[in-house]
Chains A and B, each alone.
Chain A
């Protein structure tokens, strides 16, 4: 009996016992669904947290202030900075050249006057911060609602919770701020004949496209670098004799990503030696890593239990099939089928069961993961945190389907062996 004939015989057998086959497929599907759902969820968690930690994301970054190191520069995660010290292009170049540094994001800022839409809110002074918004994901900036401004936009800003408080909103109602317009004025002092600083604003209007939680820089408005540079260019022309305090440092701060989590400490030390105050959440990173490892172990344990249950289910179903089909096995052997032909039919049957169960289970697992993701996202949004994107990694699809088929074949080995070794006469006689 060749392989195609064995395949067709297995399919006919499944078709004849459709009910039992469906139950076996369901058992495999349930296990595959549980496993794939766990894998999808844990992949999302890993992408969100673990990868950021291990590969140097926002949590693993180092904030560099435009200040000299304080006395306890490296003794704490967030030490008190020393006296102001400008960060210029040369300083950025030197920090970039450090061996333990993977990348450096420059942060620029300018003081601004802001006018919120509501007439009840007085115009207020704050800071407009600008950065390369293409790299916003590498910074400790989390979008609570909406999105971050587009990288070169001169008419979009994101605001922080400080702005929400000013306009009487909370995290829960942050969405109300999105889509509103804020007027932003960069100040410039002019010579005045009277005894006061004569300040005029360069006004622009921007749509608030997102609300963010951020620890990158002390500012209520985040915009593109182009937006901040235009504001700085205006402010920088202020009358030097007016007494108006100008930001002297070209960069308000830097965000440095170390070349691996284990190199954060050495990168910090190197930057401190260059004369700048640094901070990074090293303690937090270690704590999060420990907790996530525990979660991973638990998820893996649940997955293994699911696999074992599925294997037992398939073995049980196939053993029952052997008992039910002794006569059929006897007939096959009587007409010349060899032991290996019988074994092949049973193994193919197990493989088909596992393949279909794996396919159905993987799709179901994805659905379960999406539902779980929706529940988790609802919680995260309620907490003012960004949601988790639930995707279906190709590896999970391949692993879920092929893994289930392989598992089924492995589980079918014993029943197939038992069927193959059944003597024809005994099989016919028992029947």
Chain B
């Protein structure tokens, strides 16, 4: 009886001490979820680079797309350049993009509307550009078209009756808005044709801005005496691209 009690007491104490033997512990932060390794490249003009926003790194529309659509593990490079023709982009942006072997590329090259004004040649070049980017189907390419330019403050400042508070006209007082609209339409047709020929999605920024105009919101997308959207405009463009980018991520090989 006595011996049994002593043995039980001894065993219980040893179990307590044994379970207490440890090296101590530190506070832990759980490992982060990585997600798939993806690379997103934005090819484009000044808007893609983040023109007219105070903080391009934070507010340019491709940066917003990267931040909101892609997983943390994704890599992003914005190759946007001011006033770049498709030929120049093919020389400066395309090789860098290809070297990154991207999974998703957004292309918003629209400066030929006022730099070369050659819609026919532009379409053929854009098709070749997209075809090279696609890398045999390994890269999902998304095209964006030209938003309407006739409400840009820099354009309105050059009209015969500029709105109150407009700055000086910087593109010549003889600027013909109708001709510009017609050219934009011509180039948008070329972009749509190139998208169809390459079987890539087209983000119709033109239609989206017109819808915003109809709702009375478009003027809020511009500020100052400029030709490019402000922070709200960039956020609006990012929202237009996001569904297409999400769909591209789902459909990637």
Query: Is B truly associated with A?
Result: yes
Which A positions have Cβ atoms within 8 angstroms of B? 8, 11-12, 15, 44, 113, 115, 119, 122-123, 143, 145-147, 150, 153-156, 178-179, 181, 183, 185, 190-191, 198, 200-207, 209-210, 352, 356, 359-360, 362-363, 366, 373, 386-394, 397, 401
Evaluate contact between B26 and A394: CB separation under 8 angstroms.
no
Residue in B3, B27, B67, B72 whose beta carbon sits within 8 Å of that of A207 in the complex: B72
In the assembled complex, the CB of A240 is this many whole angstroms from the nearest CB of chain B, namely: 16
In the assembled complex, the CB of A22 is this many whole angstroms from the nearest CB of chain B, namely: 13
Can you list 29 residue pairs at the A/B interface with Cβ under 8 Å?
Answer: A11-B6, A123-B57, A147-B26, A153-B31, A153-B32, A154-B34, A155-B34, A155-B72, A156-B31, A183-B67, A185-B57, A200-B79, A203-B75, A203-B76, A203-B78, A206-B72, A210-B29, A356-B13, A359-B14, A363-B16, A363-B20, A373-B24, A389-B23, A389-B25, A390-B24, A391-B21, A391-B23, A394-B21, A401-B17
Evaluate contact between A359 and B75: CB separation under 8 angstroms.
no
Q: Which residue of B lies closest to A358 (CB)?
A: B13
Evaluate contact between A359 and B13: CB separation under 8 angstroms.
yes
**A205 to B66 Cα, complex, angstroms:** 10
Residues of B within 8 A of A363 (CB): 13, 16-17, 20
Query: How large, as a class, is the contact surface on chain B?
Result: 35 or more
B1-27 toward A: CB 8 Å interface, digit per residue (1/0)? Answer: 011001001100110110011111111
In the assembled complex, the CB of A219 is this many whole angstroms from the nearest CB of chain B, namely: 20
Residues of B within 8 A of A352 (CB): 6
Within 8 A of A (CB), among B65-89: 66-67, 72-79, 81
Evaluate contact between A392 and B57: CB separation under 8 angstroms.
no
In the assembled complex, the CB of A14 is this many whole angstroms from the nearest CB of chain B, namely: 9
Interface class of chain A by DSSP? mixed
Residues of A within 8 A of B74 (CB): 204-205
Evaluate contact between B24 and A202: CB separation under 8 angstroms.
no
Which B positions have Cβ atoms within 8 angstroms of A? 2-3, 6, 9-10, 13-14, 16-17, 20-29, 31-32, 34, 37, 55, 57-58, 63, 66-67, 72-79, 81, 92, 96
Q: Which residue of A lies closest to B26 (CB)?
A: A389
Q: Which residue of A lies closest to B63 (CB)?
A: A203
Evaluate contact between A11 and B16: CB separation under 8 angstroms.
no
Evaluate contact between B13 and A8: CB separation under 8 angstroms.
no
Q: A15-B2, A147-B28 are known contacts. Are A115 and B57 too (CB-CB below 8 A)? A: yes
Evaluate contact between A178 and B72: CB separation under 8 angstroms.
no
Evaluate contact between A205 and B22: CB separation under 8 angstroms.
no
In the assembled complex, the CB of A105 is this many whole angstroms from the nearest CB of chain B, namely: 21
**A154 to B71 Cα, complex, angstroms:** 12
In the assembled complex, the CB of B68 is this many whole angstroms from the nearest CB of chain A, namely: 11
Residues of A within 8 A of B6 (CB): 11, 352
Evaluate contact between A150 and B29: CB separation under 8 angstroms.
no
In the assembled complex, the CB of B82 is this many whole angstroms from the nearest CB of chain A, namely: 8
In the assembled complex, the CB of A144 is this many whole angstroms from the nearest CB of chain B, namely: 11
Residues of A within 8 A of B31 (CB): 150, 153, 156
Evaluate contact between B13 and A190: CB separation under 8 angstroms.
no
